[in-house]
Amino acid sequence: MKNIAFIMEHTTSRNLRNILLVYMLEVVTIFILIYSGYAKSVVPAILFLLMLFVWIHAYRIKKLVSQGTLNRILLLPIKRRSFMWSQLIFICASICLFLIILYTSWFSFHFLLSSDMTFQEILGLSYIVPSLNFLIPNTFIRFITLIIYVILLTVQTTELSLFIALKDKIGWTGNTVFFSWILVNDGVLTINDTFTLVCDMFMIVFIIFIFRNINKTIGFRQKKVKL
Amino acid sequence: MKKIFLLSITIIIAFVGFAGYFLFLDKDFYTNLHDISGDNHVMDGITWKGYNYSNYDEYQVQLTSNKARIAIRDEGITSSQEDDVGVAYKQYYEHKEDDIISSMIYVDTCDYTNEDKENLNIRYALTFANATANEIYFLNTNLVGHSNEVYTLQKKTSSCQYKGGVPQYQYVEMYNQVDASENLHYMDISSSLDENNNYVSQGVPPVFLKKDDTTYYVMPITDEYTQGMVQVYQLTLHQKESNRYGRIDTIDFITLPENRIYEDMKIIDDNFVILSHTDTNLYINIYEKDGQSKREVVIPYVQRDENRKLRVYVNDDCYLLYDSEEVYVIDMKQGELKERIPLTLNGEINREDTTLYYTDLLYKNDMLYVATAHDKYVETFLVYKNQELVYEGELNMHVYDALITLNTYYEGYFIREE
């Protein structure tokens, strides 16, 4: 744990400013969409911003590689997986904060821009906006699906960032694109509980697959040496 | 040293908390009736229930006074509440149009001539919800649905039906001879078969009431060109297997007075209420459940437009008849016309290109409540008192300039007091 915290501190602190810029951009985008009456387009907009995220993380890891930081970390007498976990936790947190900002700005801007709406009315509206009802889960299955989706986005962003940084194809990146697409496409992921569960299973399989890819291809798996 | 790490962990936990928090929120949401004109206090004590289908979720809407509660149906709605709405549906909306696929005119031969057309009786092709698609029952009537002056027959060779290589019967199309392009008259019937020999029809179905799973009542809707004796038919279905019907018995249940135009029938408290009119009078005939005539109420009436059909709504001691432009409030105790209310609109929806769908009517405290849906997907409530519109309000969610509505029609009914 100490090692993870140590690595995270040294690999991420320089790029916090860029990530904060994306959050500011997100708040401005949501404000503009609600103000101009295009609130229904909020999900495609935030998916576009999520792609910016991938780019920022890829740029960050690329810099780590080019400056030799990655090599120096790997030379330290610590578990090599610590680096992977530090990146996963950081990327996961950045995505989570992204969604938290989405929730807070979505509700608060509605309060500000339409004074006669109650919280329940805005919540009802959120259930109706296509795809947003997926991000604001009203059943336990949808809640679990959202958590799995965030984990999938995390491992996929990590994988893609490493792929870009190391200029090495380490896996198929189409699956997140696929799930993002069906999320945008009128919230089809929540069509019914059975379909949602099937999607969950697929996403878990993808997560395991990508996780193994990250673990194996970059060579973080520690070799046992027999003496 | 661990600032970012701790922050990350905190954010992840916060996100799980945020997302989980939505689970514990009230699944229902509330909205107010948005006034267009008038004071919404007139809606006090009025309850309206409806369904809405939107974005894969099904909503149940309940308007009590001027406050609407909208609930997602997959959560938070108990089965007893669903039954409650189901009862309301059965009680006030006996029309089960899903049960009937088509009504059309048939000829018993595939080689008919224009001279045959005088002998073409109206036959209805009926199919039942729990029967298979190919099981069609033909109900023969005594009615001739045309006159030589008005209609001409169009032969349609593609629709001849063969059985064992022998031509059996054929659908015919009837067009108005005066203006064949204006095929709007309600008795005009056109029908055809699709590639799979399924019936595709755009005909006017008869009034088709379902008493229970095996007993149905059919009354032809007539117009001024229909000749012959109008009868109410009782169909008794003998169930053969789980999803098929076997023998169907037809009884000429009620023979109705001649030379009238029959418009609507309802079963109310086991009585048959039949609505008809002539050029000068409007008749409400009430028959008991064994088919015996019980009562007839006659009201002076002049039909202004033959395309506007009258429909009956029941309201305790009053019957409400509406023809899209006017509502006739008939006091059934006194047997007289109590009020005649022209339907007018004040607000934005009062446009010529807007089609209004009247979903339900209610007469209470000398006020007429009208629930309408129109092509902007909004439920609009109109209240009339002393033949004047006193209130108009919409059930939707106005958010900034762009209107976000529940994006399908509401289907709903006023709840009557038991």
- Please report residues of A whose CB lies closer than 8 A to that of B24: none
pLDDT per position as a tens digit, B304-321: 666 566 777 777 777 888
Give the whole-angstrom CA distance, residue B270 versus residue B294: 12
Least confident of A25-29, A182-186, B251-255, B268-272: A182-186
Res. B13 pLDDT band, cuts 50 70 90: very high
B35 near A CB under 8 A:
no
Q: Hey, is B304 helix, strand or coil?
A: coil
- Please report residues of A whose CB lies closer than 8 A to that of B1: 5-6, 9
Q: Which of A10, A31, A42, A120 to mutate to test the interface with B (most CBs of B within 10 A)?
A: A120
Question: What's the residue count for chain A?
Answer: 227
- The mean per-residue pLDDT over the stretch A13-28 comes to 89
- The mean per-residue pLDDT over the stretch A148-173 comes to 77
B18 near A CB under 8 A:
yes
Res. B301 pLDDT band, cuts 50 70 90: confident
B4 near A CB under 8 A:
yes
Residue B106 has pLDDT above 60, yes or no: no
B26 near A CB under 8 A:
yes
Distance from CA of B400 to the nearest CA of A (A): 6
Find, in chain B, the residue whose alpha carbon is nearest to that of A124: B29
B54 contacts A117? CB cut-off 8 A: no
Q: How far is CA B130 from the centre of its chain?
A: 20
Q: Hey, is B360 helix, strand or coil?
A: strand
Using only C-alpha atoms, what is the Rg of chain A? 19
pLDDT (0 to 100) of residue A28: 94
Distance from CA of B77 to the nearest CA of A (A): 14
CB pairs under 8 A between A and B: 129
pTM (2 d.p.):
0.60
B11 contacts A100? CB cut-off 8 A: yes
**Residue A143: other Cβ atoms inside 10 A:** 17
B166-179 burial string, b = 16+ CB within 10 Å, else e? Answer: eeebbbbbbbbeee
Find, in chain A, the residue whose alpha carbon is nearest to that of B54: A128
Residue B182 has pLDDT above 70, yes or no: no
Q: Hey, is B185 helix, strand or coil?
A: coil
Mean pLDDT of chain B: 67
Contact between B11 and A96 under an 8 Å Cβ cutoff? The reply is yes
B166 near A CB under 8 A:
no
- Please report residues of A whose CB lies closer than 8 A to that of B12: 89, 92-93, 96
ipTM of this predicted structure: 0.88
Find, in chain B, the residue whose alpha carbon is nearest to that of A139: B23
pLDDT (0 to 100) of residue A74: 74
pLDDT (0 to 100) of residue A183: 61
pLDDT per position as a tens digit, B341-371: 887 765 444 445 555 666 778 888 888 888 8
B2 contacts A114? CB cut-off 8 A: no
